[in-house]
Chain A
């Protein structure tokens, strides 16, 4: 019975709890047991709060019995990356340095999930300080991909992505500074959305690089991602970068399909060669959208290499600024991969950092004029490489590791720099039976359209369901 609960999508579970078919306590017990068992075997689980969670779940059941529902996620249990602060609770951030940090406030995104009734059962492992795309973390041990325990989950939302893929939780929050939602979504067969910069508040979440940090959902279906986004989007006075634009209804267009939409398939100017197996799966998925009435044009993106370089500089400088004292005083407490990614930023001058920031607005204007004058959405692979094995990418912080990380994130970071909404949706399996992700990118604040296209992809491929093996060892 508990496996039946865990196999439900977020939307299905929320409906079952709202209608009384499943109790919140029953669902919360199932999720806690799964995270405590299979979750620890996958190195996904960092910290569980069973007493707090079950108390809240019991309150939700009592309220439902009286006809009162808190919101769309009434009584639904989930867990999140160990960087989303909850007042009075430890947020270890995948690190030794902040391993005992007790948060003094609750993250805005958690407050919003609380408001619609979600039950927060604990925290999930992540890359140290979210700085890394492979998922490696010597402090917590590296989370294992539920599809193949020898392969990486991608990062930095490593524990969260494999927990959702294994069917331990229905959805989770991630952060994406250079792919930390979309890369694990791609490698774990999930739908993961990095929203427009400024759509979702970052207040109360661990900063990595404040210009590039985005918070968004990972789930097994597009509808579930829309549900999560609906709950967390919108202006927050605690985050001055958040937009005051009204939030649309993200579910409204999910069934509309892609007829009449103009898709720009980015095949050139990528700065890398896409693995032929991935290229084939992505082309097949795009062709299916063409059969459903979308028009497709192939072309090149401009300045991808330059934007990736600029984004790396800004990321390294900003996280260097956040962690300068930690590096000065506790260098040996960092994992080598974190230091390797961060250290070049200490050598950047203020003049060059500001030059990069001054170029960002013009770069967005130029990209939108070049691409969105002739297309509604950009489509391309999420990752140009197949999911690597943990052992093959466990090279410490040497040049090979940096090279691997850059290759994995080659097609990702440009959309962090431009702040555009970008989703990864599964479109098939590679030669190792590992998931492949298609990335769909829209204009600023075009999340509804991005979700609409992702839902069409999902209809043609089928939503991802956890396999039996994912829960068998729980």
Chain B
């Protein structure tokens, strides 16, 4: 583990990180891409706030 931590890799952010950190990112990205298969082309980040409102408690009076 100690040797692995010394091995630094460059990142798009301009910060060198341990190879293990880059591997963690790659592992999580693989899960992300798999989970997001079929996301509508029209989906955009701001939709989340709209979705909160759309799914709100109906009888909350809010």
Query: Measuring CB to CB, which residues of chain A are less than 8 angstroms from any residue of chain B?
Result: 196-198, 241, 243, 245-248, 303, 305-307, 309-310, 312-313, 316, 320-321, 324, 327-328, 340, 343-350, 352, 354-362, 364-365, 368, 372, 398-399, 419, 442-446, 448-449
Contacts and interface: CB of A to CB of B under 8 A. Distances in A.
A352 B32 contact: yes
Contacts of A312: 28
A347 B33 contact: no
B58 to A, nearest CB: 8
Given A344-B28, A362-B43, A372-B55, A306 B34 contact: yes
B47 A306 contact: no
A98 to B, nearest CB: 19
Contacts of B49: 197-198, 241, 243
A355 B57 contact: no
A307 B28 CA distance: 10
Interface residues of B, number: 42
Contacts of B20: 399
B53 to A, nearest CB: 7
Given A313-B25, A356-B36, A359-B43, A449 B48 contact: no
A239 to B, nearest CB: 12
B29 A352 contact: yes
Contacts of B45: 354, 357-358, 360
Given A347-B26, A357-B45, A359-B35, 11 more contacts: A246-B61, A320-B13, A345-B13, A346-B12, A355-B32, A357-B48, A362-B47, A372-B55, A419-B48, A444-B53, A449-B60
B52 A444 contact: yes
Given A196-B52, A344-B21, A305 B31 contact: yes
Given A347-B21, A352-B29, A444 B39 contact: no
B52 to A, nearest CB: 4
Contacts of B3: none
Given A306-B35, A443-B55, A324 B15 contact: yes
14 contacts: A196-B52, A198-B52, A243-B49, A303-B35, A340-B21, A344-B17, A346-B13, A346-B17, A358-B44, A359-B32, A360-B51, A361-B48, A362-B47, A445-B52
